[in-house]
């Protein structure tokens, strides 16, 4: 039974994303991919002419999947606080699968921003901009329905929340994994609860 090129591409992207989320972009190679998928290195180049091409494809897929998850939360009938909780839980997802040491793809790539090409760097920045917008929307909804309280602007609070979630995920990879992330997220959520709420 032969594997179709689309199946091979999907497998390559899955393995590449896992490696970048665990090791970082600069610590993985096409040789790693060829060995993990069981194909020749030249076959990896067929799907990804360069590492930059691979990163751009990974980011497009990751952003699309993340956006779908967030949109599901935004479209729900939940109040602002529950939407905030569900949104924050998305950042714990990389820690749920063994070996429980993956980071956010965009967070990992942000650490290597100076080595990314223009389109990849732009995609990472776009991911963060999208998330700032989604968080601001959730905060605004929560403020309006009385389930969240924001000190200052929702824009600056959104920047703080995203930075906190990305930072908590990086630290959780080294200190307790999912349990650490859930504890950090719980504390973050409490910071935006109304007094007496």
pLDDT averaged over 10-residue windows placed end to end, the chain, 197 residues: 73 96 95 94 93 96 98 98 98 86 95 95 98 98 97 96 97 90 96 83
Which residues are within 8 A (CB) of 170 and not within 5 positions of it... i.e. 6 or more apart?
A: 103, 107
Identify the pLDDT of residue 176: 79
Spatial separation of the C-alpha atoms in residues 50 and 39, rounded to whole Å: 16
**Distance, CA of 81 to CA of 73 (rounded, Å):** 11
In the chain, which ranges are continuous DSSP H helix? 5-23, 30-37, 41-47, 51-75, 80-89, 105-110, 118-145, 154-172, 177-191
Q: Rounded CA gap, 166 and 164, in Å? A: 6
Which pLDDT score, from 0 to 100, does residue 1 have? 45
pLDDT of residue 61: 98
At residue 12, the pLDDT reads 96
Q: For position 58, what pLDDT does the model report?
A: 98
CA 143 vs. chain centroid, Å, equals: 25
Domain at 51-191: CATH architecture = Orthogonal Bundle (1.10)
Say which DSSP state 25 is in. G
Rounded Cα gap, residues 154 and 143, in angstroms: 9
- How confident is the model over 52-69, as pLDDT tens digits? 999 999 999 999 999 999
The pLDDT value given to residue 100:
80
Positions of E strands within the chain:
none
Structure tokens at 133: 């917008």
Q: Rounded CA gap, 92 and 88, in Å? A: 8
The answer to whether residues 80 and 148 touch, using CB atoms and an 8 Å cutoff, is yes
Res 195: pLDDT: 79
Measuring CA to CA, which residue among 180, 184, 179 is closest to residue 165? 184
């Amino acid at each position: 039974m032969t594997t179709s090129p689309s199946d091979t591409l999907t497998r390559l992207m899955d393995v590449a994303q896992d490696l970048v989320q665990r090791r970082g972009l600069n610590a993985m190679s096409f040789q790693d991919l060829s060995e993990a998928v069981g194909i020749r290195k030249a076959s990896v180049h067929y799907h990804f002419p360069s590492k930059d091409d691979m990163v751009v494809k990974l980011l497009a897929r990751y952003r699309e999947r993340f956006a779908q998850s967030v949109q599901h939360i935004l479209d729900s009938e939940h109040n602002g606080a529950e939407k905030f909780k569900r949104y924050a839980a998305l950042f714990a997802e990389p820690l749920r699968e063994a070996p429980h040491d993956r980071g956010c793809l965009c967070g990992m790539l942000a650490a290597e921003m100076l080595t990314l090409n223009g389109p990849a760097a732009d995609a990472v920045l776009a991911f963060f901009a999208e998330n700032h917008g989604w968080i601001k929307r959730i905060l605004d909804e929560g403020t309006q329905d009385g389930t969240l309280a924001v000190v200052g602007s929702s824009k600056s609070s959104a920047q703080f929340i995203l930075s906190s979630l990305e930072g908590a995920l990086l630290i959780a990879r080294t200190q307790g994994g999912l349990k650490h992330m859930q504890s950090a997220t719980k504390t973050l959520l409490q910071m935006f609860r109304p007094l007496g709420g």
